[in-house]
A and B are shown apart, each in its own frame.
Chain A
Amino acid sequence: MTETVTPASQQREDPPSGGRLPAIPGPIETARRLWRALRRMSTALLLLFALAAAAVVATVVPQAPVTAQSVEQWRTGEAGPGPTAASVIDALGLFDVFGSWWFGLLVVLLFVSLTGCLVPRYRAFLRVARRPPAPGRNLGRLSNTRTFATDVPPAEVLGAAQRVLGRRRFRVRCIDADGAQQVAAERGHLREGGSLVFHTAFYVLLAGAIIGKVYGFTGQVSLPEGGSFADTRIAYDAADAGRGWELDDHRGFVVTLDEFDVSYFDDLTPREFVSRVTISEQGAPVRTADIRVNHPLRHDGMVLYQLAFGMAPHVVVRAGDRVLYDDRVLLSPNDDQNLWSGTAKVKFDDPERQIALDLVLAPDARLDSEGQPTIGPDPRPNNPVLIGNVYFGALGLQRPIPASQFERGSGPVDTAMLRPGGNAALVEGNLSVEFVDLAYWSGLQVSHAPGRLLLLLGAGLILAGLLPSLYSYRRRVWVDVQPEGTGSRVTVAGVALQRKGVFTDEFDDIATAVDREVRS
């Protein structure tokens, strides 16, 4: 019997019984195959498509961290494809695509694939880019070739060729082999180098984004005119702090809103709104400054942004002589109409006997052509009217939900319409509501954002790597010189690995330049 030698790999594949079923590869082999698959370009392509698909979904489906209102409307069926579809979307976690685990996994896979591809390419690049240009053979057979004779001796021709190619920033090497003299030149490694820089930049971006997320802080606060807040954890209406942000990272300076100014164009679109603030540290004012959209205020590593603004009427509610409520109510804008609305939690210590005041402010209350009260379009509060609806009962005001979401039950027990300075007696005289005056509130955002320099660096590297990776191309040029009598026979030849069309023109230029340089 002849001895057959089974190669080691086949031994692993064939099951011991010698049956015909293909063997299931073992765990190490599977891991190796998966790794190889992950590193392939086609896998990277599919991962990119998945990334794009996730982003498409996140564009058409409202995202909870971005537009929570829209998400709620989708969930209740007010907007979007309906409550059943919305519950499916919810189950799949599509209302928060970028916070979901599968999106994180996708990003991880992309970076793993990227690393698996970059490491061998870096190695190959360093190896190839350092190699001196190789000598050329069979130059006559190349697609770009030109031959001419000249009475200049070979040494000078070689010198001329070196000069021409050197001026064009080729890496040049003189080869003297088998009596043939040749100048070998190469250029265009920046194509691969640029691509490597471009792809490496994503790590820099990732680092910048992570640092910003972990060590950063963002807080929003609404300030009525004259009000102030201190940069501490509890001061903010909404805050988002990274895990690395400590409580005493807050600076503690006090910001006072001295004045808020809004100006409009003639057609009543907003022209500018500005918060004039004073910043105090340890009780003493340190600086006064303006905060506008697109012009944030930077102080002590924190940045203050102008976000939104609104109306803040000063309302006092009394029961007889007792003052139940005396504060500015921060009203929110109404999307469709020139109105502002909000709720004052007047009294909520006894859960059964609570008082809430629903407020609606019309900055431009006027009478229409028939003498009926109507809402004018002017956003400037020249003619403000405040409408208050009093609710009484077990309203649920003690719950930790927005004030406006209290239980309205059977409706308001009384209502008042007030102008600034006006006072109304409600609920058979048991309650009085006074509209003292009207001011603005300003919505500010206070942030600390580390890592931005890294992001900027990453962005710069992306652009810096992108351009050479698209426009540079590896090409080689040889100038071969054979002595011919007292002169020489010169062959200029070249080949490009990419962008061959463009190289043809470049080669023509080079060959002509060599010719001219030789003759001069």
Chain B
Amino acid sequence: MANEALAQSSNTWFNVALLAYIVAMVAYFFRLAFTRVSADGVIAGTAVGRRVGMLGTAVAVIGVGAHTASVVMRGLAAGRVPWANMYEYSSLLALVAVVVGLVVVQQRMGYGHLVGFVLATAVLSMTIGLLLYTPAGPVVPALNSYWIKIHTSAAMASSSIFMVAFVATALYLVKDAAERRVAERSNASFDGSTVGAAHVGGPATTEQRPEGYEADTELDTRVASPLAQREALSPVWFPVVPGLVVVVFVLAVWRAPVAAIIAGSVAALLGTAAWYAVPYLPPAAKLDNLAYRTIAFAFPIWTFAVMAGAIWAEEAWGRYWGWDPKETGSFFTWVLYASYLHARSTHGWRGRRAAWVAVVAFVALMITYYAVNLWIVGLHSYAKA
């Protein structure tokens, strides 16, 4: 049957894309390793690092191509838009996140070395998607509406951009902690906030080109010792926290101890990579700005997704808002991201506190997506459709 063949093809391309992302992610992290930092804070790339970086980018782009093919074939196999269950949704989340990472984070902003972390979230999302795999098939009557193209796609697009924003937020918190500790130890004056808006000096233009590093002499002198930053942070928390979180999550949802340990180890490795990457990250102020701009971009889309969901609910279920768990979930996610935007304009909340609000908001988003679908009884339990 043509559908069956297409579905198989789609799965194959999915696996190719997943493999490509893993390889690219490793390459990006290797590029971090092939970097020299001198004592007075000059970061310079090496030839090997540059080549590994280019390889990583190339493989990531191939992965995007394979992934797009997978998504398109899935849509053709099922005879509808390819975002109607958790497997397809997770797959698309990853694809959009990688595209945003490559195009916006690497190309436009020049923070190529952050893309490894974005790829990590994409790999995680796809792996979870595999655990939730359902064969390609048509949708139940409740989902049989043109609104799926509007509401679900908007929710998916904004969620994946929030994923990228989470990477920036987490790295901001890490880098900010490092910069503060170094500043404290060197008794340098510090104005207490590394939020980019008007307070921290630094070049207005991006100082790092996408490929390789030039000798970076424009670093703010207060944070002039990148290696000292890494030393300033305790390397214990970095593997432990992500590892534990992932182990608990996998155990709670799938009750699979082996999978939990594997996933937890991967998360722990990522955490360690984040610790290692601290000196090479852009200044905290820039990371904060990246987080802010990505959240500011995704927030209107998420708002629109919630509204479109309400209009669809009115047509399908006869009421636009019934405080169903998915609706409450999307509501508190919206409120928390709105709180983040508020916090950034409130004295005393800028910088770290606002970033923690963004972290909580992302956790809320994950609850809305995973926990509500898989755990909680409600109208949106399309998990194992």
By a beta-carbon cutoff of 8 Å, the part of chain A in contact with chain B is 41-42, 44-45, 48-49, 51-53, 55-56, 58-60, 62-63, 65-67, 70, 97-98, 209, 218, 265, 267, 269-273, 292-296, 303, 305, 307, 445, 447, 449, 452, 455, 459, 462-463, 466-467, 470-471, 498, 500-501, 504
Contacts and interface: CB of A to CB of B under 8 A. Distances in A.
19 contacts: A44-B342, A45-B342, A52-B339, A52-B364, A56-B332, A58-B325, A59-B328, A59-B372, A66-B323, A218-B318, A265-B138, A293-B316, A294-B144, A294-B145, A294-B316, A307-B318, A459-B307, A466-B299, A500-B204
Contact of B138 (A271, A292, A467): A271
B313 to A, nearest CB: 11
In the complex, the 7 A-B pairs of residues with the closest C-beta atoms, listed nearest first: A55-B332, A305-B318, A294-B145, A41-B346, A52-B332, A445-B318, A293-B141
Contacts of B140: 269-270
A325 B205 CA distance: 84
Does more than half of chain B's interface fall in helix, strand or loop, or is it mixed?
Answer: helix
Interface in B133-188: 137-138, 140-142, 144-145, 147
Interface in B297-318: 299-300, 303-304, 307, 310, 314-318
Nearest to B336: A52
B338 A48 contact: yes
Interface residues of B, number: 57
B257 interface: no
Contacts of A466: 299-300, 303
A273 B324 CA distance: 23
B198 interface: yes
B326 to A, nearest CB: 9
A44 B376 CA distance: 30
Nearest to B205: A504
A270 B137 contact: no
Contacts of B318: 218, 296, 303, 305, 307, 445, 447
Contact of A45 (B322, B331, B339, B372): B339
Contacts of B310: 459
A125 B44 CA distance: 49
A148 B322 CA distance: 64
Nearest to B326: A59
Contact of B328 (A42, A55, A218, A272): A55
A63 B326 CA distance: 13
A295 to B, nearest CB: 8
B341 to A, nearest CB: 8
Given A42-B349, A294-B141, A58 B328 contact: yes
A313 to B, nearest CB: 24
B315 A294 contact: yes
A48 B323 contact: no
Contacts of B332: 51-53, 55-56, 59
B345 interface: yes
B126 to A, nearest CB: 25
B339 A48 contact: yes
Given A52-B364, A55-B332, A501-B204, A449 B141 contact: no
Contact of A271 (B141, B323, B324, B349): B141
Contacts of A60: 371, 376
Contacts of A58: 323, 325, 328
A265 B145 CA distance: 17
A462 B377 contact: no
Given A41-B342, A293-B316, A55 B299 contact: no
B198 A42 contact: no
A471 B297 CA distance: 9
